[in-house]
């Protein structure tokens, strides 16, 4: 199995080098062949690895010694267990579908070869992040996926908004990554190792305060990478990148890295109730916070972006309350249905000639039927509609919160279910129903080519069936048994058993989701004049949501603008005044001294004699004073 595991990341890396070097001059519009082929093979190999792990064959492989300095030793090594297999399944499947989809979506773009080179580099980095068996290797490729995110968000860099969005994502993530790096350093200083096996084996010897410090620093990195409050601000702006990027990186893979890292570190977090509580609080708040913003957005990709932030909050809430398996179940289900939704939104944008404003759409179900039906399936899954994957994974998260006694978190999560269903079907009704709002755009709307619609159909399959296959019966389904060994050390409560109360709670959450769908139907189909009236009556609250609670403006006022003014002051006073002043002053001093001494070097004999006599006189006076 070693050779197979090694090929999974190496194939996209080889394709990145090949496409990057030859794409512009030789491959051009055929640049996708190597990229799609490499990822297709990696996908097949990932499926093989998943099957092998399911049969009980795991792998811990130290490939070679990377750093060995004194007591500091780090290896390049892979860990393949059930958690790795789940992540490989999501990354490879969604990644392959996005590669195929991009052939049609990016057709004719001047940077066609560059796009496929970048997403191959991302796939390599994400595979390595998932396969790493120590925190330093994890951190290296944590940064690598951040670099790829920057390159792909700013892919259309001549566009100022895209360039700014890429820079914003890069800088905001640096804040979280700084805390992450401190956490890794603290792990080594405290435990003397960075390998997962060594760290987890020694975790029991940590004091409560040290365990909390390490976990909170690690979680800081997760907050940045997975766009949790207050470092969520980069993800909505990241929608400036091409839509396949939004699906691959900002819905199904990279943003899940924070959830994966916390789940992988479960033996550490299990020793700090405080850190777990912080994770749960941040996740729960982010879930309802982002869902409320999504309710009023008009850009179809921005709705999905805030939805992603909200659903990631669900996952962190599950991790914080100790529902480890539920968090990974929701990560798996969300990866499929949110990847599907982003690709569907790209198909809508493609049909509308690049238009993303839902207020200019309408009636599209008549023209893009495949996109409509797959979009509907994704929205139903996101809303937690009974029978679909999102229903079972969402219920697992809610059950984890309720069974753990976190009733306040459960209440907030149920409210978020209602908001999610509402904004999901607000998006459906504005985009596909009623009469077209822009006749010109509607007249040119058309279904996407097969290379874009086939991935939609493929991703719709796990969106429908993954919940039934993995989550039934609730609390003791296939995924619960599959991941039990990974989280055994962190689970201190008996396994959740599905009973009468669980059935009532499941039915209640399903009813809440359906109520959100019906309210959206009432607002946008039955009484389409109601939204404008509701917005007018809500007044400042609507404005607050529309402006995203003014978080960006607060950051500019409190952090960015003061830093800019302070930087300007440093430039004027310290750089230009002190540093440049010292350098220039030395030059001016030399010039002034030269001008003052120039007259005594005029070539006149009498001047030289006078200087010599004056010098002798000074020496004599000094000698007399020294000998007294």
Q: How confident is the chain (628 residues) per 10-residue block, as mean pLDDT?
A: 93 95 88 94 96 93 86 89 95 94 91 94 96 95 94 92 93 94 95 93 90 96 95 93 87 88 95 95 97 95 95 96 94 94 94 92 92 97 94 94 93 96 96 90 90 95 92 87 86 63 90 96 93 88 93 93 91 88 88 80 76 86 82
Residue 248 to residue 90: CA distance in whole angstroms: 10
By CB atoms closer than 10 A (0-12, 13-18, 19+), residue 332 is buried
Domain boundaries, given as residue ranges, for the chain: 272-540, 552-627
Nearest to 249 by CA among 342, 349, 113, 345: 342
What is the structure's pLDDT at 498?
66
d(CA 488, CA 486): 6
**pLDDT value at position 99?**
95
With tokens 């979280």, the residue in question is: 176
Q: Which two tokens stand for residue 261?
A: 């890292």
**pTM as predicted:** 0.91
Pairing of strands 59-69, 72-80: antiparallel
Distance CA 325, CA 334 (A): 14
- pLDDT of res. 492: 58
Residue 496: per-residue pLDDT: 55
Per-residue pLDDT at 249: 83
- Is there a cis peptide before residue 346, judged by omega within 30 degrees of 0? no
Q: Which residues pair with 134 in a beta bridge?
A: 195
Alpha-carbon distance 325 to 91, whole Å? 18
72 beta partners: 69
Here the tokens at position 23 are 């794409």
Q: Which of 492, 341, 517 is nearest to 418 (CA)?
A: 517
Contact 463/337 with Cβ under 8 angstroms?
A: yes
CB-based burial label for 324 (10 Å; 0-12, 13-18, 19+):
buried
Residues 6+ apart with CB under 8 A from 146: 169, 170, 173, 177, 225, 254
pLDDT (0 to 100) of residue 493: 55
What ranges in 29-111 are assigned the alpha helix state H? 32-54, 82-105
Structure tokens that stand for 391 in this block: 């229903």
Residue 295 bridge partners (DSSP): none
Reported as type and span, the H/E element at residue 245 is: helix 243-247
Q: How buried is 69 (Cβ within 10 angstroms: 0-12 exposed, 13-18 middle, 19+ buried)?
A: exposed
Whether the upstream peptide bond of residue 216 has omega within 30° of 0, thus cis, is no
Rounded to whole angstroms, the Cα distance separating 136 from 297 reads: 39
CA distance 167 to 412: 33
Residue 228 pLDDT: 95
CA–CA separation, 184 and 193 (whole Å): 10
> How far is the C-alpha of 14 from the C-alpha of 18, rounded, in Å?
6
Give the bridge partners for 69, in sequence order.
72
Please give the backbone phi and psi of residue 381, each rounded to the nearest 5 degrees, phi first: -65, -45
């Amino acid at each position: 199995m070693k050779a197979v595991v090694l090929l999974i990341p190496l194939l996209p890396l080889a394709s990145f080098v090949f496409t990057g070097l030859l794409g512009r001059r030789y491959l051009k519009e055929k640049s996708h062949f190597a990229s799609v082929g490499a990822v297709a093979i990696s996908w097949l190999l990932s499926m093989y690895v998943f099957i092998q792990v399911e049969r009980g064959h795991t792998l811990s492989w130290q490939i070679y010694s990377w750093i060995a300095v004194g007591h500091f030793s780090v290896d390049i090594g892979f860990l393949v267990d059930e958690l790795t297999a789940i992540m490989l399944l999501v990354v490879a499947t969604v990644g392959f579908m996005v590669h195929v989809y991009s052939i049609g979506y990016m057709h004719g773009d001047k940077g066609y070869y560059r796009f496929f080179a970048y997403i191959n580099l991302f796939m390599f980095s994400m595979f390595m992040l998932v396969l790493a068996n120590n925190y330093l290797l994890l951190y290296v490729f944590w940064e690598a996926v951040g670099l790829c995110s920057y390159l792909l968000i700013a892919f259309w860099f001549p566009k100022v908004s895209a360039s700014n969005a890429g820079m914003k994502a890069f800088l905001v993530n640096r804040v979280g990554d700084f805390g992450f790096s401190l956490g890794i350093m603290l792990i080594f200083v405290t435990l003397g190792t960075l390998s997962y096996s060594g760290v987890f084996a020694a975790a029991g010897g940590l004091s409560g305060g040290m365990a909390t410090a390490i976990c909170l620093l690690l979680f800081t990195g997760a907050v940045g990478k997975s766009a949790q409050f207050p470092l969520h601000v980069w993800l909505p702006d990241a929608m400036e990148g091409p839509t396949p990027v939004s699906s691959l990186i900002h819905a199904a893979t990279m943003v899940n890295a924070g959830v994966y890292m916390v789940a992988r570190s479960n033996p550490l977090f299990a020793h700090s109730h405080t850190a777990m509580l912080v994770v749960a609080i941040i996740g729960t708040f982010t879930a309802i916070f982002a869902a409320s913003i999504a309710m009023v957005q008009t850009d179809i990709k921005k709705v999905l972006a805030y939805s992603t932030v909200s659903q990631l909050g669900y996952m962190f809430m599950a991790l914080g309350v100790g529902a480890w398996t539920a968090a990974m179940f929701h990560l798996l289900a969300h990866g499929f249905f949110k990847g599907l939704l982003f690709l569907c939104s790209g198909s809508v944008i493609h049909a509308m000639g690049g238009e993303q404003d839902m207020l200019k759409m309408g009636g599209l179900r008549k023209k893009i039927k495949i996109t409509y039906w797959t979009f509907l399936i994704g929205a139903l899954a996101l809303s937690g509609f009974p029978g679909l994957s999102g229903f079972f994974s969402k219920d697992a998260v809610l059950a984890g919160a309720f069974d753990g006694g976190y009733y306040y978190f459960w209440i907030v999560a149920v409210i978020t279910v209602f908001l999610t269903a509402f904004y999901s079907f607000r998006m459906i009704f504005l985009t596909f129903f009623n009469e077209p709002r822009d006749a010109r755009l509607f007249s040119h709307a058309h279904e996407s080519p097969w290379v874009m619609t086939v991935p939609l159909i493929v991703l719709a399959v796990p969106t429908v069936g993954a919940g039934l296959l993995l989550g039934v019966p609730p609390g003791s389904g296939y995924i619960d048994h599959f991941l039990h060994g990974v989280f055994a050390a962190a689970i201190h409560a008996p396994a959740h058993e599905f009973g009468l109360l669980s059935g009532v709670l499941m039915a209640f959450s399903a009813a809440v989701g359906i109520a959100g769908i019906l309210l959206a139907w009432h607002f946008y189909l039955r009484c389409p004049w109601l939204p404008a009236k509701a917005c007018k009556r809500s007044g400042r609250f609507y404005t607050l949501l529309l402006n995203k609670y003014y978080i960006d403006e607060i950051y500019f006022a409190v952090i960015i603008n003061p830093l800019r003014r302070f930087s300007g002051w440093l430039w004027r006073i310290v750089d230009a005044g002190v540093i440049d002043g010292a350098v220039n002053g030395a030059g001016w001093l030399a010039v002034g001294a030269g001008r003052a001494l120039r007259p005594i070097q005029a070539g006149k004999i009498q001047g030289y004699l006078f200087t010599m006599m004056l010098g002798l006189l000074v020496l004599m006076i000094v000698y007399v004073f020294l000998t007294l």
